[in-house]
Amino acid sequence: MAAADQQGLPAHHSEEEILSHPRFPIARDEFVNAILALYEYDPFLNRLLLEAGRNVLFVVIMCLHARYDEAERATWPTLALATQSTAAQGVSSPRRLGALVSQFIKTGYLELRASPRDRRIRILTPTAKMVAQDQDWLVSHYLPLQVLFPKPGYARIMNRDAGFQLVQRLITSGFFALGGQIMAAHPIVMQFMSREAGVMILIKLMQLAGPKGDANQKEISYSDIGDSFGISRTHVRKILQDAEKQDLVRLTRDRGQFIEVMPELVEAFDRFVAAGMSGHDLIYNLALQKAV
């Protein structure tokens, strides 16, 4: 964030401070492994969440739920407000987002409840299943911060404090624009995030690169990666070939399939992760000020 935008905000760790921390490679590796532990070999969650529009919609709904005040009609988390807030992030169209909300309802993550003040209006209400998934998401994203800055640490998130979760999401609802800025500022990462399970393929590449971002060749199987995330080997190959055209990876097909993760991709991923960590740290400190 620009210095002028930070007036009145609590102290928090900047992107550059995080990137230059000597333990950042370890923290990045912990983040990568935590995300893979959540989603690898869970094709259902991959299809449901791990594409930019779906993931942002999930977070937006949790934030709107935390901000919901029956007395303030403008805060009612309706389908219209959820699609409008998510579309503003530039990750999907309002029409498609409506279909995604239906998927969340069909799979038990959301319920539609009549507003107590206007029975014609349906309120999007997260189920216990969605709240628990959101807690897992938050833990995985605060884990690298916990690795770098264990004192005082991020216990309220790491311990899955449900009350603090709501406060964190309430604060996050005021930073939708910042989230959009972070994504827009990292086009290399966004080209993966915009593809079905693309972000998981990217994270798998970062696991192959290792905590030091080594560019050594690693043997891969498109089928194995596809099986990990519930997608076809053809889809995996297409994403990797598109990345190769931009010199982000190098694919070798002599005597097997090998991939070399190029430094530009590692650097882009690291900067994206560090920017996200800085934003999460800011929101955590703001939530501490508000939480009881």
Amino acid at 185: A
Beta strands 122-126; 249-252: pairing state: unpaired
Name the more confident of 245 and 98.
Answer: 245
| pLDDT given at position 215 | 54
| pLDDT given at position 227 | 84
Note whether 102 and 205 are same-domain residues. Answer: no
| pLDDT given at position 86 | 83
Note whether 277 and 163 are same-domain residues. Answer: yes
Mean of pLDDT values over 265-272 = 95
159 within some domain: yes
| pLDDT given at position 6 | 54
**246: domain CATH number?**
1.10.10.10
Check pLDDT > 60 for residue 5.
no
Note whether 122 and 54 are same-domain residues. Answer: yes
Name the more confident of 95 and 270.
Answer: 270
| pLDDT given at position 131 | 97
219: pLDDT confidence band, cut at 50, 70 and 90?
Answer: confident
197: pLDDT confidence band, cut at 50, 70 and 90?
Answer: confident
Check pLDDT > 90 for residue 1.
no
Using the structure block, give the residue that is written with the tokens 């002599």. 254
| pLDDT given at position 2 | 40
What is the count of structural domains for the chain?
2
Mean of pLDDT values over 99-109 = 91
Note whether 135 and 179 are same-domain residues. Answer: yes
Check pLDDT > 60 for residue 214.
no
Note whether 59 and 110 are same-domain residues. Answer: yes
Note whether 17 and 78 are same-domain residues. Answer: yes
Name the more confident of 210 and 130.
Answer: 130
Note whether 234 and 283 are same-domain residues. Answer: no
Mean of pLDDT values over 244-264 = 85
Check pLDDT > 80 for residue 254.
no
Task: Tell me which range, 50-64, 71-85, 134-148, is most confidently predicted by mean pLDDT.
Answer: 134-148
| pLDDT given at position 40 | 83
> Can you give the pTM of this predicted structure?
0.89
137 within some domain: yes
Q: How many CB atoms lie within 10 A of CB 39?
A: 23
Mean per-residue pLDDT of the chain: 88
- HEC string of the chain equals CCHHHHCCCCCCCCHHHHHHCCCHHHHHHHHHHHHHHHHCCCHHHHHHHCCHHHHHHHHHHHHHHHHCCCCCHHHCCCHHHHHHHHHCCCCCCHHHHHHHHHHHHHCCCEEEEECCCCCCCEEEEECHHHHHHHHHHHHHHHHHHHHHCCCCCCHHHHCCCHHHHHHHHHHHHHHHHHHHHHHHCCHHHHHHHCCCCHHHHHHHHHHHHCCCCCCCCEECCHHHHHHHHCCCHHHHHHHHHHHHHCCCEEEECCCCCEEEECHHHHHHHHHHHHHHHHHHHHHHHHHHHHCC
Note whether 126 and 249 are same-domain residues. Answer: no
| pLDDT given at position 3 | 38
Name the more confident of 232 and 55.
Answer: 232
Note whether 282 and 229 are same-domain residues. Answer: no
| pLDDT given at position 213 | 58
6-31 pLDDT per residue, tens: 556 888 999 999 999 999 999 999 99
Range of the domain at 83: 12-188+270-290
166: pLDDT confidence band, cut at 50, 70 and 90?
Answer: very high
3 within some domain: no
231 within some domain: yes
Note whether 104 and 119 are same-domain residues. Answer: yes
